[in-house]
Amino acid sequence: MAEQKNLEFDRPGGYAMPKGATQVQRRARKDLLKPGTITLFGDTVPSHEPAKAKIKPAFSDGDPDTRLYIGDCRDVLARIPDKGCVDLIFADPPFNWEVPYDEWQDGMPRAEYERFTFDWLDGCIEALVPNGSLWVNIPDDTAAEIVMHLKRRGLTMINWCVWHFRFGQNRDSSFIMSKVHALYFAKDPDNRIWNPNEILEQSDRASIYADPRTQAKDENKGMRVPMDVWYGPYWGRVQGNNGERRHQHHNQLPEVYLERVIRACSNEGGLVLDPFCGSGTTSTVARAWKRRSITIEFGEGTATSAWERIATIGMLRKGLSSGGTSAIGAQRGKLAKKGK
């Protein structure tokens, strides 16, 4: 079918612009909240009963307020004094791939792992402010279950982003895995913390084609909000020779990844929470950008190492997630000639 003019808004060219996934999900939201609409394997396992003991941070510092709790995140989330006050949650949970973490047993039966996932997700939802956002970093084998659970809990997906890296583990039994999903959900899609101007990058029209139309805009000339596939300098997996690398930590995320999420979905002075501290990237970046933060870690050894990074070493690549270009093509036309 031929593309038709869209008369609903004033856009150069006037071509049709689909409503998009977010608006479609708004309409489906009420239906998904009906009991029994979505049933998942993890529903066969009873929910976790949080411990009732009082909690206090194992590590803390001020300016801005930064806290690290040690324990099962399901227990801590149920007891933090900030419940209902968190602006942004970023979670990079264990993948259940039998990784030898400090103290955590990463090899649950599948139904138990799904139940564990649903329980900590529910704790995160309860911790969020009404205009808060939840991000989850997860691989292929659990992405669908998380999406469906969050939908049945009434959250709306804003983006299904992909973190792409070029250093996947080599194998010949299937295509090499070179991505992880970055799932972006909000409690209220029409009233959420969203700062697009904080994360702009150069558009392909500006960086490859020198298209004058992108410089004719009233603001953000030559810039755009990043696309939903993330890659580029400093975006790769954090390997052993990487300056950000924290030894004895598994599956460490690059600082630019958290910087983009934190700047886009929280404000200075806001509260960021990470239920799986790991190497401490979330609180390290949050602290660098003057956000308060709470993070939780199951293992004492991992927590101690992470706190050294959070409180002493700090962020190494501040500001490098924005302003550049993610173009994969060579410069063309006038730009290419100018480069010669």
Taking only the tens of pLDDT, the chain with its 340 residues reads: 555 555 555 554 444 555 666 667 677 776 777 777 789 999 999 999 998 888 999 999 999 999 999 999 999 999 999 999 999 999 999 999 888 887 888 899 999 999 999 999 999 999 999 999 999 999 999 999 999 999 999 999 999 999 998 877 788 899 998 999 999 999 999 999 999 999 999 888 877 887 878 787 788 888 999 999 999 989 988 777 777 778 777 778 999 999 999 999 999 999 999 999 999 999 999 999 999 999 999 999 999 999 999 999 999 999 999 988 887 767 666 666 665 4
β-partners of residue 287 are none
Within a domain: residue 16? no
Contacts of 118 (CB under 8 A, 6+ apart): 40, 42, 43, 47, 149
Q: What pLDDT sits at residue 272? A: 98
For position 267, what pLDDT does the model report?
98
Q: What is the Cα–Cα distance from 149 to 12, expressed in whole angstroms?
A: 40
E strand residue ranges, 108-178: 128-138, 156-164
Whether 9 is in a domain gets the answer no
What pLDDT is attached to residue 81? 95
Length of the chain: 340
Residue 279 near residue 246, CB atoms below 8 Å: yes
Tell me the helices (H) and strands (E) count for the chain, helix number first: 10, 11
Q: Exposed (0-12), middle (13-18) or buried (19+): which is 139, by Cβ within 10 Å? A: middle
CATH number at residue 313: 3.40.50.150
Beta bridge partners of 15: 5
- With respect to residue 309, please indicate whether it lies within any of the assigned structural domains: yes
Q: Does the predicted TM-score (pTM) go above 0.85?
A: yes
In contact, 210 and 334? CB cutoff 8 Å: yes
- Four-CA torsion 312, 313, 314, 320, nearest 10 degrees: 170
The parent domain of residue 29 ranges over 22-168+176-339
| 7: in domain | no
Burial of 228 (0-12, 13-18, 19+ CB in 10 A): exposed
Q: How is residue 335 written in tokens?
A: 């730009």
Which residues 6+ apart lie within 8 Å of 232 measured at CB?
324, 325, 326
> Is there a domain that residue 323 lies in?
yes
- How many Å apart are CA 70 and CA 83, to the nearest integer? 17
Residue 238's pLDDT is 77
From the list 263, 251, 298, the residue with the least C-alpha distance to 277 is: 298
Number of structural domains found in the chain:
1
